[in-house]
Copies of this chain bind each other. A is one copy, B any other.
Amino acid sequence: MFSNLAHMTTSSSRVRMSPESRREQLLELGTRLLATRTLDEISIELLAEEAGISRGLLYHYFHSLQEFHVAVVRRAVEDLYAITAPRDVGDPLEQLSVSLGAYVDFVSENYTGYVSLVRAASGSNEEIRKIYQDARRALTDRIFDIAGAEELATVGVVDSPATRLLTDGWAAMVEDVVMAWVTDPHGLSREELLNRLARALPAVVVA
């Protein structure tokens, strides 16, 4: 505890780490910084300062600052997917409600970080947008998997290109509504919110 590396923010003595640890440290730091700042506020200056390294070192691990940003978002998205774990049984719609509940809770608890992630994902960078869209798709896919295709068919939801299109749209709505609800519930209880969002899916998707 006396030779803690955390003390060395000001000191300039070199610390030599293994490539894996250093890369990991930078990514972890990146996601942590993203919770408080915009992606383009994560400059090399800031990064170097916070990590206690020189500006040049970043380029031994990432080709450019942009590539680092991409890696950070990828990491943040992985975390999001991992943390919003699936839950167990019930009828399809209630199942959906429960899954949404987990998602809502996550957004509530990690609000600033989540908002930052979504903003980064809608930004100008093509690659980041794709990463986030894939993640969104993975999240909805997981919901479908849990509910089960036959179960969903009973409420009129069957898989098709059109269903995909509309499901993605539904996911966009969920994101938007949940973020707004967390800052101001507009008199809507958590249960009401979940039920409305859940019922909205078949409403949009069924022919």
Copies of the protein in its oligomer: 2
Q: Which residues of B contact A203 (CB under 8 A)?
A: 199-200, 203-204
The B-contacting residues of A in range 183-205, CB under 8 angstroms, are 184, 186-188, 192, 196-197, 199-200, 203-204
Is residue A170 within 8 Å, beta carbon to beta carbon, of the partner chain? yes
B196 x A200 contact (CB < 8 A): no
CB distance from A110 to the nearest CB of B (A): 19
Task: State the CA gap A173–B176 with chains docked (Å).
Answer: 9
The distance in angstroms between the C-alpha atoms of A162 and B196, with both chains bound, is: 11
Partner pick for A177 among B122, B160, B166, CB 8 A cutoff: B166
Evaluate contact between B200 and A181: CB separation under 8 angstroms.
no
Docked Cα-Cα span, A186 to B168, in Å, equals 12
A12 at interface (Cβ–Cβ under 8 A)?
no
Q: How many residues of A contact B (CB 8 A)?
A: 37
Interface majority SS (helix, strand, loop, mixed), chain A: helix
Tell me the bound Cα distance from A181 to B186 in angstroms.
31
| Bound complex: CA A122 to CA B125 (Å) | 12
Q: Which residue from B38, B180, B200, B207 sits with its C-beta under 8 Å from A124? A: B38
Collect the chain B residues with CB atoms within 8 Å of residue A172's CB.
Answer: 172-173, 175-177
B187 touches A168 (CB 8 A): no
A166 neighbours in B (Cβ, 8 Å)? 177, 196
Please indicate the chain B residues that have their CB under 8 angstroms from the CB of A177 in the complex: 165-166, 168-169, 172
A161 within 8 A of B: yes
- A188 — nearest CB in chain B belongs to which residue? B162
- Beyond A160-B187, A169-B177, A172-B172, 5 additional pairs, beta carbon < 8 A: A119-B124, A162-B187, A168-B176, A172-B173, A203-B203
* 8 A-B pairs in the complex with CB atoms less than 8 angstroms apart: A41-B124, A119-B122, A119-B124, A122-B123, A162-B187, A168-B176, A172-B176, A199-B204
9 smallest CB-CB distances across A and B, nearest first, come from A203-B203, A122-B122, A169-B177, A173-B173, A172-B176, A161-B186, A38-B124, A165-B186, A169-B173
